Amino acid sequence: MTRIADTFRRLQETGEKAFMPFLTAGDPNLAITEEVIVELDKIGADIIEIGIPYSDPLADGPTIQAGSLRSLSSGTRMPDVFELVRRVRPKVRASLVLFTYANPVFQWGVHDFFQTAKEVGANGVIIPDLPLEESEEALAAGLATGVDLIPLVAPTSQERIAKIVAQGQGFIYCVAALGVTGVRENLDADLSSYVASVKKHTALPVAVGFGVGKPEHAAIIGQFADGVVVGSAIVKKTAAIADALQAGDAALVEATKQDLVQFAASLKAPLYPNKQEA
Ligand SMILES: O=P(O)(O)OC[C@@H](O)[C@@H](O)c1c[nH]c2ccccc12
C-alpha cells in the first residue's frame, strides 16, 4: 500500500477529509518552505503538494506564477527540491506530492525522476500538462517505484474521464474550475454533480482543487469529495512572508508564517467528521 493510500485509509477510519495545501519549494527560500511544511503537518495537513518552480507555469494564475518567480530568483532548482523532501520526510506524517510541469521531468529523465522521488521519500507526482496520451512512461515509472502518478480531470474532460481515471494512482485530482489556478469568490454551482460523475468511474479517492479561498469552500467540498486542495490562497501568504523577509523584519517573518499556518488550520477545521453534516 502506498503512503497516499494509507493516508486516505486513515482518514476513512476517522471520517475526516484530506486537507491538501500546495506551496512552491523555495518561495521565499528553502529553509522557510521546510519550516512551513513541518507546521502545516502539525495542524493536520494530510497531503502536502510541493511545487517545483518552473519558468513557464502555463496552468497557473498570477499568484502562483509570482511564487515560482520568487523561488527561481532565490536560486531554487530541482535538485534542491529533492533535497528539501529528503530533509523534511522524516519530520512529517503527511504524504508529500511533488508538483511539476512535464518539461523538467523529461529533461531529468522520466524514470530517474520517479526513482529520485522515491529515494528522497516523495509519495506522489502531479504533472498537469502531461496528457494521458503521453503518460505511458510516467505511469510505468509510478507503478515501478510506488510513487503515485496522480491524474487531473477537468470539467471539460467529460468523455475522457473514464480513460483518465482508469490509469489513476493514489487519488484523482478534480480541477473544480476552468482556466488557471487562483482563488474564486464562489465555487461552481454544479461541483458536486461533476465530482459524482468522476466518482462513478473510480474506486480511488477524489480530491477537489482550484479556487478554494476560505473555510466555507472547504466545508462545501468536504461534503462530497475526499479531499480539498488549496494553493493560491496559501501562496498569497508566502508572498507576505517574502515581503517581510525583504524588509529584514524577523518578527514580521514569524508573524506572517504563523498567519499562514493559522489560515491553513481554519481550512482543515471543517474537514473533521463532526463538521461535515450537510
Ligand atoms: O491555486 P488554487 O486555485 O487553490 O488551485 C490549487 C492549485 O494551486 C495547485 O493544485 C496547483 C498549482 N499549480 C497547478 C497547475 C495546474 C493544476 C493545479 C495546480
pLDDT, tens digit (0-9, with 9 covering 90-100), for 202-235? 999 999 999 999 999 999 999 999 999 999 999 9
Average pLDDT over every residue of 123-132: 96
Nearest Cα to Cα of residue 211 among 16, 22, 17: 22
Average pLDDT, the chain: 96
278: in domain: no
Separation of alpha carbons 21 and 45, rounded Å: 7
148 inside domain: yes
Q: Cα(192) to centroid of ligand 1, in Å?
A: 19
pLDDT band at residue 277 under the 50/70/90 scheme: low
Q: What residues have CB less than 8 Å from 65, skipping those under 6 apart?
A: 57
Examine the pLDDT at 129 and tell me if it is beyond 90: yes
> What are the CA-CA distances from residue 184 to residues 42, 92, 129, 177, 212 (Å)?
27, 30, 22, 9, 7
Q: Output the domain CATH number for residue 192.
A: 3.20.20.70
Instruction: Find the catalytic residue in 16, 27, 34, 49.
Output: 49
* CA–centroid distance, residue 169 to ligand 1 (Å): 19
Q: Is 41 a catalytic residue?
A: no
257 part of a folded domain: yes
- From 76, 97, 209, 230, select the one nearest 153 (Cα to Cα): 209
**What are the backbone angles phi and psi of residue 5, rounded to the nearest 5°?**
-60, -40
**Residue bearing cell 529515494:** 119
* Residue 126 domain boundaries: 3-271
Yes or no: say if 275 and 17 are a contact pair by the CB < 8 Å rule.
no
Which one, of 207, 181, 20, lies nearest residue 96 by Cα? 20
For residue range 34-93, list pLDDT tens digits in order.
999 999 999 999 999 999 999 999 999 999 999 999 999 999 999 999 999 999 999 999
pLDDT for 276 equals 62
User: Which residue pairs from 132-140 have beta carbons closer than 8 angstroms and sit at least 24 positions apart in sequence?
Assistant: 132/160, 132/163, 132/164, 132/167, 134/102, 135/167, 137/110, 137/111, 138/105, 138/110, 138/114, 139/167, 139/169
Q: Report if residue 187 sits inside a domain.
A: yes
Count of domains for the chain: 1
C-alpha cell, 274: 463532526
- 49 annotated active-site: yes
**Is 276 domain-assigned?**
no
Q: Which residues pair with 152 in a beta bridge?
A: 173
Task: Tell me if 194 is assigned to some domain.
Answer: yes
Of 63, 229, 263, the residue with max ligand 1 atoms within 8 A of its CB, to mutate for a pocket test, comes to: 229
Give the mean pLDDT of 197-202: 96
Q: Rounded to two decimals, what is the model's pTM?
A: 0.97
Answer whether residue 212 is part of any domain. yes
Return the ligand 1 atom nearest residue 235 CA. Answer: 1
Cell of 2: 502506498
**CB of 99 closer than 8 Å to CB of 126:** yes
Cis status, amide bond into 28, omega within 30 of 0 = yes
In the structure grid, which three cell numbers stand for residue 10, read together? 486513515
Ligand 1 shell residues, CB under 6 Å: 22, 49, 51, 59-60, 64, 99, 128, 181-183, 209-212, 229-233
Of the listed ranges 26-30, 104-108, 207-211, 274-278, the one predicted with least confidence: 274-278
Q: Is residue 84 part of a domain?
A: yes
Q: What pLDDT does 178 receive?
A: 87
- Of 27, 34, 46, 60, catalytic: 60
